[in-house]
């Protein structure tokens, strides 16, 4: 990986992109320290630490901007939610489905829709956040002016981060939104490390076990991230004029973790929702339904890990079924004269692909669920590890993004190599 970065740095065009990306990341981190007026950071930090809520996710993705009460407190979560919603609606709404199949122009129109939905969701989330923070006593001087200022600051911060992400995608290195999440998580690593050190600095065996576990987890994530099941495909030979086309052998790659971290984010948001509502509506509840809901959906409850585990598996199958359509793949193969050896074209081919996909997805779903719940289970037995409850998901995002970025750099260097060779 380091060698790839060194080689990329030697190419002027890629070096310019890397510097541009680094500059925008500096802007992102700088904005994470610009405070929003009339918010009490100490109360926000207590809110993050005291409840299992969406605040912990936002705080991790924003690199600690939420607990510091800054303009980037909501991070890029409204954009992620908007993207997921539009992707789901693409299957249900024919007009969006047609746009998704119109190539580059259709993709631009869908991106515009996502932008508008992001701003709307950002405003709704900011307004709800203000009401909840006011109830929790985090707003210093509640008034109409305070509401407008705080809501506008949060919404503008999310819109600016969306713009930053798009600029990185267009003129920098890697996917911009993923880069911002990556930077936020990496910025939180020293804080997590300090918390673990504060709790276990006198127990070197525990420290060694935590480091060993992290290394093993990273190794497994690297292996599973690149793992795929290849279905062999052959193309029939065709004679067009005096030339013969086709006849080559290729394959359909089915990635083990085709859905990425989206199922974990789905499940995490649903499991955090009851705790969020409880923390915002009645933060001081000690009895009644609000208190029961907050306690049941707390990460220290073993049932939390069980429900979370099965939710991730369910969402992995659900999201994979949306992003990969065996019938569409089968039809494309048939149109282009391709076939799977030993399998008849048409429905038998789509059934065969669906059967293989189901088995591969099951392995990926179990792995994702284990990565997500192992740190949570560890916190049940060792409460001192509560700061790394999101550690498995964070590692998955960081390692996955790093691998994808390295692959992108390698492909760009290869493309420039061939371009120079042809010229």
Residue 121, domain CATH = 1.10.3370.10
Structure tokens at 177: 């939104």
In-domain check, residue 405: no
* 168 shares a domain with 214: no
Averaged pLDDT score across all residues of the chain: 84
Higher local confidence (pLDDT), 352 or 420: 352
327-368 pLDDT, tens digit each: 989 998 888 888 898 899 889 999 999 999 999 999 999 999
In-domain check, residue 218: yes
Residue 422: per-residue pLDDT: 46
Number of independent structural domains in the chain: 2
* 230 shares a domain with 123: no
Q: How far apart are the C-alpha atoms of 66 and 76, rounded to whole Å?
A: 12
Close Cβ partners of 358 (under 8 Å, ≥ 6 residues apart): 317
Q: How far apart are the C-alpha atoms of 168 and 243, rounded to whole Å?
A: 44
Close Cβ partners of 146 (under 8 Å, ≥ 6 residues apart): 38, 130, 139, 140
Which residue is listed with tokens 């127990």?
Answer: 203
Task: Please give the average per-residue pLDDT across 379-397, as a whole number.
Answer: 71
* 177 shares a domain with 212: no
Q: How far apart are the C-alpha atoms of 56 and 127, rounded to whole Å?
A: 18
For the chain, give the percent of residues with pLDDT over 70.
88
* 153 shares a domain with 270: no
Residue 45: per-residue pLDDT: 79
C-alpha triplet 228, 232, 238: angle, nearest 5°? 140
In-domain check, residue 184: yes
Most confident of 120-134, 258-272, 352-366, 408-422: 352-366
* 80 shares a domain with 122: yes
Q: Sorting pLDDT into bands at 50, 70 and 90, what band is 12?
A: confident
SS3 for 202? coil
Q: Say whether pLDDT at 166 is over 90.
A: yes
Q: Sorting pLDDT into bands at 50, 70 and 90, what band is 138?
A: confident
Q: How far apart are the C-alpha atoms of 255 and 394, rounded to whole Å?
A: 20
Residue 387: per-residue pLDDT: 57
DSSP state of 140: S
* 342 shares a domain with 286: yes
Helices 54-61 and 176-200: crossing angle, nearest 10°? 110
Q: How far apart are the C-alpha atoms of 87 and 320, rounded to whole Å?
A: 12
Structure tokens at 9: 């740095």
* 239 shares a domain with 183: no
90-100 pLDDT, tens digit each: 878 888 888 88
* 320 shares a domain with 227: yes
Residue 277: give the domain boundaries: 203-389
- Output the pTM of the full model: 0.84
232-247 pLDDT, tens digit each: 998 877 666 666 665 6
Structure tokens at 98: 């047609």
Q: How far apart are the C-alpha atoms of 21 and 26, rounded to whole Å?
A: 9
């Amino acid at each position: 990986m380091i060698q790839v970065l060194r080689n990329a740095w030697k190419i002027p065009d890629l070096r310019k992109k890397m510097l541009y990306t680094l500059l925008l990341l500096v802007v992102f981190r700088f904005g994470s320290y610009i405070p929003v007026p009339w918010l009490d950071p100490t109360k926000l930090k207590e809110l993050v630490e005291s409840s299992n809520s969406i605040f912990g996710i936002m705080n991790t993705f924003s690199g600690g901007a939420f607990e510091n009460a800054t303009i980037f407190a909501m991070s890029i979560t409204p954009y992620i939610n908007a993207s997921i919603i539009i992707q789901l609606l693409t299957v249900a709404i024919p007009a969006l489905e047609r746009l998704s199949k119109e190539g580059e122009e259709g993709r631009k129109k869908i991106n515009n829709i996502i932008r508008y939905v992001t701003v709307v969701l950002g405003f709704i989330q900011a307004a709800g956040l203000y009401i909840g923070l006011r109830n929790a006593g985090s707003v210093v001087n509640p008034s109409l002016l305070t509401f407008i200022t705080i809501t506008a600051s949060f919404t503008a911060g999310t819109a600016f981060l969306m713009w930053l992400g798009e600029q990185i995608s267009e003129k920098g290195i890697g996917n911009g939104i993923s880069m911002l999440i990556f930077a936020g998580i990496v910025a939180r690593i020293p804080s997590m490390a300090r918390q673990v050190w504060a709790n276990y600095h006198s127990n070197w065996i525990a420290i060694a076990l935590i480091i060993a576990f992290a290394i093993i987890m990273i190794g497994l994530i690297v292996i599973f991230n690149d793992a795929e099941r290849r279905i062999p495909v052959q193309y029939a030979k065709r004679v067009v004029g005096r030339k013969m086309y086709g006849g080559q052998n290729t394959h359909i790659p089915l990635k083990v973790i085709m859905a990425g971290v989206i199922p974990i984010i789905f499940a995490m948001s649903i499991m955090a929702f009851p705790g969020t509502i409880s923390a915002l509506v009645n933060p001081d509840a000690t009895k009644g339904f609000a208190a029961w809901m907050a306690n049941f959906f707390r990460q220290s409850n073993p049932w939390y890990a069980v429900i979370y585990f099965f939710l991730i598996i369910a969402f992995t199958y659900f999201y994979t079924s949306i992003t990969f359509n065996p019938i569409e793949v089968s039809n494309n193969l048939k149109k282009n004269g391709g076939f799977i050896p030993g399998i008849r074209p048409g429905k038998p081919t789509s059934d065969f692909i669906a059967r293989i996909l189901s088995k591969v997805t099951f392995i990926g779903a179990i792995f994702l669920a284990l990565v997500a719940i192992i740190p949570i289970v560890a916190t049940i037995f060792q409460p001192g590890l509560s700061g790394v409850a999101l550690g498995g998901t964070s590692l998955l995002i960081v390692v996955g993004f790093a691998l994808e970025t390295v692959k992108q750099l390698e492909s760009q260097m290869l493309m420039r190599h061939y371009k120079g060779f042809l010229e």
